[in-house]
């Protein structure tokens, strides 16, 4: 067993951390959060450093990295802002999904465009009546000659409204078939006529924004169907594994940042003539927070390692996602307590973590759904 990074992985982590320290300053993060603006400057830095290329094979213009490199990057981006990770991670896991499930022509066409920064990608599964029960989606795509025509409504598509975005849209291609058999994946430019979008006002993760999308006779060329017709459910499940391991790495980075900030505060803040960190009540909170972050990280690394080896990673990923998201929520909650009234002030970063963390037990599969999945894999039937 070896818990060490290779020299290359260590260098990757350091260079991403340096870049983030330089560009994602506290002022920059605050501006994107308060004004709800997309971090274009940061995204340009991702491109300049080759981070988009990193996890893709060289034959498609990538740098031949692995899932492990992807999660190293994700954890570092998450240290500054879980929302910023979304800008990078959503593009990469959707791109990898096309790499794993698209036709050869699609890989050659879409992957270079994505990793060179010509386009971005978002994912759209959820609908008003199909959240945890994603298979209940009703948005439909109908074949008409050389085109697909899409009608329906999606909700919570993060980053869908940003310029040059291609929506990875899951839609029904057979309304009568059970969902495992009647869903397909499409690539839809967000400016296609017939699309209307509304950015939703949210408590946290305000930079990328999450969108409601209406499709009214949206016509797209036939070759925008990824892979094969009716195979979308399988593509979605394999894509979700990558998404969840990446998001968990981001939770670890964000939760570590919470612990670091709370620890620093506990050392500096004096009450009753002593640093508050010397009160056992506060010191134990910090010890618990760090222990949970470390446990999340180990679960995440194991899940990423299994995925990178092509082994069955479903249980490990679900456990990592469940534990990591709940650890981030708990850490941010305790971080607020440790900072007393100052945690509640917008000038300090803790309140943003508190807001950003809160949704991590909902997105990418709720905690309840992760527990259902884990219990199911343990042989228990849950409802």
Which are the contacts of 195, defined by CB distance < 8 A and separation ≥ 6? 188, 213, 214, 215, 216, 218
Helices 350-358 + 232-268 axis angle, to 10: 150
d(CA 105, CA 108): 5
Instruction: Choose between 259 and 327: whose C-beta lies nearer to ligand FAD.
Output: 327
CB nearer to ligand FAD: pick between 20 and 208: 208
Query: Taking contact as CB under 6 A, which single stretch among the options 4-12, 112-120, 156-164, 338-346 is the one that binds ligand FAD?
Result: 156-164
From 363, 370, 373, 374, residue interacting with ligand FAD (rule: CB under 6 A): 363
Q: How many residues does the chain have?
A: 383
> Binding marks (x or -) toward ligand FAD, 313..352, rule CB under 6 A?
----------------------------------------
Nearest to ligand FAD of 296, 372 (CB atom): 372
The secondary structure of 145-211, three-state, reads CCEEEEEEEEEEEECCCCCCEEEEEEEECCCCCCHHHHEEEEEEECCCCCEEEEEECCCCCCCCCEE
Q: Does 125 bind ligand FAD (CB under 6 A)?
A: yes
CB closer to ligand FAD, 106 vs 158? 158
d(CA 229, CA 186): 10
Window 35-64: residues binding ligand FAD (CB under 6 A):
none
C-beta of 210 vs 351, nearer to ligand FAD: 210
Q: In whole angstroms, how close is the CB of 336 to ligand FAD at the nearest point? A: 20
Binding residue for ligand FAD, selected from 54, 92, 99, 123, defined by CB under 6 A: 123
Given candidates 53, 97, 157, 351, which one binds ligand FAD under the rule CB under 6 A?
A: 157
Annotate each residue in 200-239 with x if it binds ligand FAD (CB under 6 A) or - if it does not, as one string.
Answer: --x--x----x-----------------------------
368: contact with ligand FAD by CB under 6 A:
yes
**359: buried, middle or exposed (CB in 10 Å: 19+, 13-18, 0-12)?**
middle
**Minimum CB distance to ligand FAD smaller for 123 or for 331:** 123
Stretch that binds ligand FAD, among 97-105, 117-125, 233-241, 253-261 (CB under 6 A): 117-125
Nearer to ligand FAD, 105 or 378 (CB): 378
Q: Are 93 and 241 in contact (CB under 8 A)?
A: no
Q: How far is the CB of 208 from ligand FAD (least distance, A)?
A: 8
Please select the residue that binds ligand FAD; options are 36, 61, 117, 131, rule is CB under 6 A. 131
CB atoms within 10 A of CB 265: 22
* Cβ neighbours of 7 (radius 10 Å): 8
Q: Is 153 a binder of ligand FAD (CB under 6 A)?
A: no
CB atoms within 10 A of CB 40: 12
Question: 249: which residues sit within 8 A by CB, 6+ positions away?
Answer: 70, 71, 72, 74, 75, 78, 300, 304
Stretch that binds ligand FAD, among 116-124, 173-181, 309-317, 322-330 (CB under 6 A): 116-124
CB of 123 to ligand FAD, least distance (A): 5
Nearest to residue 251, comparing CAs of 75, 15, 124, 11?
75
Least CB distance to ligand FAD at residue 291 (A): 26
Contact status: 362 vs ligand FAD (CB under 6 A): yes
Distance of CA 172 to the CA centre of its chain: 24
How far apart (Å, rounded) are the C-alpha atoms in residues 71 and 53? 14
Tell how far CA 153 is from the center of its chain. Answer: 22
Q: Which is nearer to ligand FAD, 158 or 325 (CB)?
A: 158
Do residues 67 and 57 make contact, with C-beta atoms less than 8 angstroms apart? no
DSSP string covering 367-379: HHHHHHHHHHHTT
CB of 90 to ligand FAD, least distance (A): 7
The nearer residue to ligand FAD, 122 or 296, going by C-beta atoms, is 122
- Cβ closer to ligand FAD: 167 or 286? 167
Q: How far apart are CA 339 and CA 27, in angstroms?
A: 20
Q: Which residues bind ligand FAD (CB under 6 A)?
A: 122-126, 131-132, 156-158, 202, 205, 210, 359, 362-363, 366, 368-369, 372
């Amino acid at each position: 067993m070896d818990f060490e990074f290779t020299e290359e992985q260590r260098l990757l982590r350091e260079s991403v951390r340096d870049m983030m320290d330089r560009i994602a300053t506290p002022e920059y993060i605050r501006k994107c959060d308060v004004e709800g603006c997309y971090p274009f400057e940061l995204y340009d830095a991702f491109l300049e450093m080759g981070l988009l290329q990193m996890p893709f094979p060289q034959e498609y213009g990538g740098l031949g990295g692995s899932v492990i490199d992807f999660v190293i990057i994700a954890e570092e981006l998450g240290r500054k802002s879980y929302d910023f990770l979304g800008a990078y991670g959503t593009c990469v896991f959707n791109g990898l999904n096309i790499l794993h499930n698209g036709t050869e022509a699609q890989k050659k066409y879409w992957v270079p465009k994505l990793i060179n920064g010509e386009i971005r990608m978002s994912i759209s599964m959820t609908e008003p009546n199909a959240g945890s029960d994603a298979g209940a989606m009703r948005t439909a795509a109908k074949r008409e000659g050389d085109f697909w025509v899409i009608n329906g409504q999606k909700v919570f598509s993060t980053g869908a409204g940003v310029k040059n975005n291609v929506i990875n849209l899951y839609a029904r291609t057979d309304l009568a078939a059970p969902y495992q058999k009647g869903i397909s994946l499409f690539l839809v430019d967000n400016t296609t006529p017939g699309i209307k979008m509304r950015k939703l006002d949210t408590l946290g993760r305000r930079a990328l924004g999450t969108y409601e999308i209406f499709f009214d006779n949206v016509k797209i060329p036939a070759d925008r169907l990824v892979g094969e017709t009716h195979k979308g459910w399988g593509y979605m499940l394999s894509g979700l594994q990558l998404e969840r391991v990446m998001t968990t790495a981001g939770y670890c980075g964000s939760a570590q940042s919470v612990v670091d900030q709370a620890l620093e505060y506990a050392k500096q803040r004096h009450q009753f003539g002593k640093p508050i960190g010397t009160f056992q009540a506060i010191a134990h909170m910090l010890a618990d927070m760090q222990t949970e972050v470390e446990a999340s990280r180990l679960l995440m690394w194991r899940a990423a390692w299994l995925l990178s080896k092509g082994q069955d990673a479903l249980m490990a990923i679900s456990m990592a996602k469940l534990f990591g998201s709940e650890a981030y929520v708990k850490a941010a909650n305790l971080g607020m307590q440790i900072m007393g009234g100052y945690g509640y002030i917008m000038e300090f970063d803790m309140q943003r973590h508190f807001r950003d963390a809160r949704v991590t037990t909902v997105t990418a599969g709720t905690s309840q759904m992760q527990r259902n999945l884990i219990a199911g894999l343990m042989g228990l039937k849950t409802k």
